[in-house]
Amino acid sequence: MVVPELRSWRAVRPRIARVADTVRPRLTRVAAAARPRVTRLVRAATAQVTGVRTWPYTAGATVVGLALAAGAVTVAGPWDSSGQRTAERDRAAAAERAGGVRHERAPGRSGSAAGAPRPAPSAASVLTGLGAETVRAAPNGPALASVLDPVVSDPALGTRRAASVVDLATGGQLYGSATGDTFTPASTTKIATAVAALAALGPDHRLTTRAAYEPDTGELVLVGGGDPTLTAREDADGWASLRTLAADTAAALAERDVREVTLSYDTTLYAGSDLHPIGVNDNLARVTALMADEARTDDSTRGPVYRVPDPAADATRAFAGFLKDHGVTTSAPGPSKATTRADTLATVSSPPLSALVERMLTNSDNDLAEALARHTALASGERPDFDGAARAIHARLAKLGLPLTGAVFKDGSGLNREDRLSASLLTALLATAADPGHPELRPALTGLPVAGFTGTLSGRYTDGAAGVVRAKTGTLTGVNTLAGTVVAADGRLLGFAFLAEGTTDPTAAQTALDRAATALAACGCR
């Protein structure tokens, strides 16, 4: 997602960089010296995996984390002119340079568009900077099973469960249990939505909202572009600004010597019902092509909150207020449709799709997920409603050769309990996003929440695996899921998916899933 650079950060960044340059060599030596002891502790702990002990791994993660943190300030740059942090995308994805195991460019690629994602480096290049040994072969199945079987069989994971672990360098499966069975995936559905949208639209695609003027009638139409991140807030924070659109529109009207207009809004980009099958719910606004700030009724940017009942009308009223600030008088807004004769006076566009996907995954943003599903439908020639979006997602994933047996899509967010995905499909999605032949899909990985630090995992893994697990969570009543990537103890980058149904205690189920990912992170499993 787009992360604006704070002014205070600009002032102190050079000083912090100098401190980092000074301490990094020392911390690197500490990490290298401590690694053999930490490795022995981790292996000793994994031998008694029942109720996985995470303190040895935490100790190792702390030492390694200190060394990584020393370099993070320098690595986190550069920062572009808009304040966007480019490091994660620059280091985790690239089209031009090779990066780790099998990360050569696709045949025939001589370059990439500016800002296009680059292939993700393997864990080897990260660990080499710590003076550690190079990455070994992938964990073997029997050893991995001895670690994961006791954890995955935890009764807290309900009456049905499935698990899949793959080597992201090769796509080969390392561990599996009921991998082909389909489950209600909850919000891990967003991984599928992300991959389908990126495949259909490309990472540089933007969503545009415009103001169109009908010269024959004097009608000004606010035309929704399906961008739920459009904001009416004073600080747009890098997102498309309704205030900017109003200012530019007023200036264009002034050039025409127009000071009064009939104001309308156009939401015809989407079709069908705007109400999700779950009904009115604080987790999701009505799915309409025009809204501001996801129709939230407070200053929040994520999580459940009451939404305004008519997002398009509410956004247009805000637009009218901003026009009034610039001397333009409007009528009370109503629904309409811009004609082909209308002149576009001004536009504002979202950040690129890569940033939207990252925000969707990091925050588990349901509004954005449903919007991207509809845009996938539009790009695929399907009707932009719930059914058309579902068909488009399925078709896009089929074109990528993914295992879709039994898969059912009913929405883009995973709020619909009729969605059905398998553990093998989820890990195949992760492997495809990591494939150097598909750099356009990389945001489906870089947007995953980081354990202990960002998004829906910011408060989890505080006692182990923080920073090395990146995963999308999923929670509905009786359903708990987790799918993502992990750097194992030997430095191998793995993809995993754990699905559970029939859970009765969501906290216990979440803890069990976290324990499984932590066990995977701590496992060298030779």
Q: Rounded to whole angstroms, how far apart are CA atoms 133 and 129? A: 10
Within 10 Å of residue 16's Cβ, how many Cβ atoms?
14
Reduce the DSSP state of residue 379 to 3 states and report it. Answer: helix
Q: Is 187 an active-site residue? A: yes
- Give me the count of residues in the chain: 526
Of 164, 241, 264, 364, the catalytic one is: 364
Residue bearing tokens 């169109």: 212
Q: Are 481 and 493 in contact (CB under 8 A)?
A: no
Q: What is the largest CA-CA distance in the chain?
A: 79
Of 122, 164, 177, 190, the catalytic one is: 190
Residue type, 167: D
Question: In the chain, count of helices (H) and strands (E)?
Answer: 14, 13
Q: Are 118 and 93 in contact (CB under 8 A)?
A: yes
Q: Are 361 and 447 in contact (CB under 8 A)?
A: yes
CA dist 26 to 34, 51, 130, 142, 370, Å?
12, 35, 11, 39, 48
Within 10 Å of residue 31's Cβ, how many Cβ atoms?
24
Q: Are 85 and 454 in contact (CB under 8 A)?
A: no
Q: Are 49 and 150 in contact (CB under 8 A)?
A: yes
Residue 102, sorted as left (phi over 0), alpha (psi -120 to 50) or beta, turns out to be left
Phi, psi of 110 (to 5 degrees): -110, -5
Q: Is 350 an active-site residue? A: no
The two tokens of residue 289 are 């092509």
The two tokens of residue 296 are 């939230």
Q: Rounded to whole angstroms, how far apart are CA atoms 448 and 188? A: 10
- DSSP-assigned letters across all residues of 386-405: HHHHHHHHHHHHHHTT---T
Task: Give the burial class of 11: count Cβ atoms within 10 A of its Cβ; 0-12 exposed, 13-18 middle, 19 or more buried.
Answer: exposed
Q: Rounded to whole angstroms, how far apart are CA atoms 465 and 365? A: 24
* Sign of the torsion formed by the C-alpha atoms of 79, 82, 83 and 85: negative
Residue 136, sorted as left (phi over 0), alpha (psi -120 to 50) or beta, turns out to be beta
Residue type, 334: G
Q: Rounded to whole angstroms, how far apart are CA atoms 397 and 468? A: 27
CA dist 106 to 27, 89, 112, 437, 453, Å?
37, 18, 11, 5, 33
Of 122, 164, 187, 380, the catalytic one is: 187
Q: Is 349 an active-site residue? A: no
Catalytic annotation, residues: 187, 190, 364
